[in-house]
């Protein structure tokens, strides 16, 4: 049974906890809106659909909001205890700081366990709903995300601008400008029309645009030299009605590739992620083996000096040629040949690296995502130790100094998190270690802060530091004496 003191401590903790959680959740939701707003605004979605999508996306931020809330609420709660001299009264009554921290440590542990089950069982389901909803928006209405009067390159391979967009589903347009993106050696084409209309295409991978009363300007430059290009006249074709189909499969494929709609690791539980990790690891090993064999084969062709004929029994080493004994153009040919071989090998290595990087990055993402289901739960306990210790030492409640300290600690945690994550994606750090490094760094700090709080350390006493640095300051301060003005 909880004692009166335990109930009072828990009640004091949950007061700021719910307020801080609401504020932080709102801030993270606003950040999601800022990032995702352009993907679904202007798509003809209802307010309820937008709210539902934001809710699906917002559930995942709880894993980050909860540890920060525990940190800030702990600092504020123990700061208020110290500011109102309640900690002093408890110590005078023989109640140690450890006894005061025990009930909230239990509450934080329960929250950490609940966060694990929430991240493992609930967040993946909401992630699936959010990603599929985004995919459906991108698939069914990819053509309506245009801003009137602005050049937009949303249609792959084209630059478009519409002066006016109207209609129930924003299907009618006026002042149409469509320019085909091309290199200087490709045919250039520009379409200008007074008005047009988006219509459903038989194939969803294509966008059908019917234009009225306009011109097609085309320059036939492909495969022609510079002199011919300069003399090439513009070709203008007037039309009353023109139907164009634009390939937008890249937009849909991009949504599938980035969001992993059908098979995304973010839709899986901790145990299911083990299978994904094993599969990804085996796929990478096969890929690395193939690439390694190709690179080794090309490297041997560059640095090999043996005569690899079919009759290997009679194979003899090639006679080594000293470059100093070769004269004239033959010497230059040998140098150029060696340079070309090395340059080709360098280009091969760079191209193979681009093949390896996606596999390494994906493997690291899956491992880090899985481990963070555990690590964020432990972060809750670590943040409580830091917050409770800081609060009892600084003895300041409210939203002033505790908020500043909590933000600084969280920024340090976030920077470490992002830094090791990027290192892991680049293949410079083991992803398992990268996921746990923030906790490994902060846990000793939390234990040290707890020991300081238990011994009534004057860690944040300004007078103590002034007295410590006073001898040094005196060396740079001159004694002021009264001077007589003449």
CA distance 130 to 184: 42
CA 106 to each of CA 60, 78, 82, 112, 115: distance values in angstroms, whole numbers, following the listed order: 24, 16, 21, 10, 14
Share of the chain above pLDDT 90, in %: 13
Q: What is the pLDDT of residue 144?
A: 47
Q: Band of the pLDDT at 150, cuts 50, 70, 90?
A: confident
Report the greatest alpha carbon distance in the chain: 111
Burial string for 72-110 (b: 16+ CB within 10 Å, else e) reads bbbbbbbbbbbeeebbeebeeeeeebeebbebbbebbee
Residue 366 has pLDDT above 70, yes or no: yes
Lowest pLDDT segment from 239-243, 247-251, 275-279 = 247-251
Q: Band of the pLDDT at 438, cuts 50, 70, 90?
A: very high
pLDDT in tens, 181-237: 776 666 778 889 999 988 877 777 778 889 999 988 877 665 565 666 566 666 788
Identify which has the larger pLDDT, 250 or 169: 169
Which residue shows structure tokens 């000096």?
305
Lowest pLDDT segment from 305-314, 361-370, 406-415, 436-445 = 305-314
Q: What is the pLDDT of residue 399?
A: 64
Q: Using an 8 Å Cβ cutoff, are 230 and 194 in contact?
A: no
Q: What is the pLDDT of residue 112?
A: 93
Q: What is the average pLDDT across 413-425?
A: 89
pLDDT in tens, 238-247: 888 888 887 7
Cross-strand bridge partners of residue 441: none
Q: Band of the pLDDT at 258, cuts 50, 70, 90?
A: very low
Q: What is the average pLDDT across 248-264?
A: 57
Q: What is the pLDDT of residue 306?
A: 37
Annotate 109-176 with DSSP letters as a single string: HHHHHHHHHIIIIIHHHHHHHHHHHHHHHHHH-TT----TTS-B--STTEEEEEEEEESTTS-EEEEE
Q: What is the pLDDT of residue 436?
A: 92
pLDDT in tens, 88-147: 888 888 888 888 888 889 999 999 999 999 999 998 888 888 877 777 665 555 444 677
Cross-strand bridge partners of residue 206: 247
Share of the chain above pLDDT 70, in %: 69
Q: What is the pLDDT of residue 313?
A: 45
Alpha-helical segments (H) within 204-313: 226-231, 249-259, 270-303
Q: What is the pLDDT of residue 262?
A: 56
Which residue shows structure tokens 């903790």?
13
Q: Give the mean pLDDT of the chain.
A: 77
Identify which has the larger pLDDT, 235 or 311: 235
Q: What is the pLDDT of residue 390?
A: 85
pTM of the model: 0.64
Q: What is the DSSP letter of 244?
A: E
Sequence-ordered list of residues with C-beta below 8 angstroms from that of 266, at least 6 positions apart, any chain: 124, 127, 131, 260, 369
Lowest pLDDT segment from 193-207, 342-356, 373-387 = 342-356
CA distance 367 to 256: 21
Q: Using an 8 Å Cβ cutoff, are 197 and 171 in contact?
A: yes
Identify which has the larger pLDDT, 31 or 36: 31
93-97 long-range contacts (CB < 8 A, ≥24 apart) are 95/5, 96/454, 97/392, 97/453, 97/454
């Amino acid at each position: 049974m909880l004692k009166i003191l335990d109930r009072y401590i828990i009640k004091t903790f949950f007061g700021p906890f719910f307020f801080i959680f609401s504020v932080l959740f709102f801030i993270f939701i606003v950040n999601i809106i800022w990032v995702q707003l352009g993907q679904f605004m202007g798509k003809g979605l209802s307010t309820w659909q937008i709210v539902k999508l934001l809710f699906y996306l917002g559930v995942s931020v709880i894993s980050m909001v909860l540890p920060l809330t525990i940190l800030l609420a702990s600092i504020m709660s123990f700061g208020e205890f110290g500011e109102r001299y309640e900690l002093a009264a408890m110590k005078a009554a023989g109640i140690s700081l450890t006894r005061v921290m025990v009930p909230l440590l239990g509450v934080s542990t329960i929250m950490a366990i609940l966060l694990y089950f929430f991240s493992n069982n609930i967040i993946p389901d909401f992630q699936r709903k959010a990603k599929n909803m985004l995919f459906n928006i991108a698939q069914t209405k990819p053509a309506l995300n245009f801003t009137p009067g602005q050049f937009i390159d949303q249609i792959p391979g084209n630059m478009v601008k519409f002066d006016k967009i109207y209609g129930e589903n924003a299907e009618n347009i006026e002042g149409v400008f469509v320019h085909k993106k091309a290199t200087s050696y490709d045919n250039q084409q520009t379409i200008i029309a007074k008005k047009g209309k988006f219509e459903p295409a038989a194939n969803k991978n294509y966008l059908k645009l019917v234009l009225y009363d306009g011109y097609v300007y085309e320059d036939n430059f492909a495969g022609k030299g510079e002199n011919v290009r300069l003399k090439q006249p513009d070709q203008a074709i007037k039309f009353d009605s023109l139907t164009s189909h634009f390939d937008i499969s890249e937009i849909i494929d991009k949504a599938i590739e980035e969001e992993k709609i059908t098979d995304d690791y973010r839709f899986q539980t901790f145990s299911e992620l083990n299978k994904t990790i094993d599969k990804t690891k085996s796929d990478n090993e096969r890929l690395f083996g193939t690439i390694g064999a190709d690179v080794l084969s090309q490297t041997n062709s560059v640095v090999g000096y043996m005569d690899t004929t079919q009759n290997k029994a009679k194979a003899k080493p090639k006679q080594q040629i000293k470059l100093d004994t070769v004269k004239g153009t033959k010497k230059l040919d040998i140098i150029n040949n060696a340079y070309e071989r090395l340059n080709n090998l360098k280009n091969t290595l760079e191209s193979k690296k681009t093949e390896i990087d996606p596999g390494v990055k994906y493997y690291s993402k899956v491992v880090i995502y899985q481990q963070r289901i555990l690590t964020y739960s432990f972060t809750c306990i670590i943040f409580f130790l830091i917050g409770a210790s800081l609060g009892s030492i600084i003895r300041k409640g409210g939203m002033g100094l505790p908020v500043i300290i909590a933000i600084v600690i969280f920024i340090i945690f976030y920077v470490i998190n992002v830094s090791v994550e990027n290192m892991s994606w680049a293949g410079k750090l083991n992803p398992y270690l990268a996921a746990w490094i923030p906790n490994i760094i902060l846990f000793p700090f939390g234990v040290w802060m707890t020991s300081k709080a238990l011994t009534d350390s004057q860690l944040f006493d300004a007078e103590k530091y002034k007295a410590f640095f006073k001898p040094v300051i005196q060396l740079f301060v001159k004694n002021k004496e009264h001077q007589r003005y003449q």
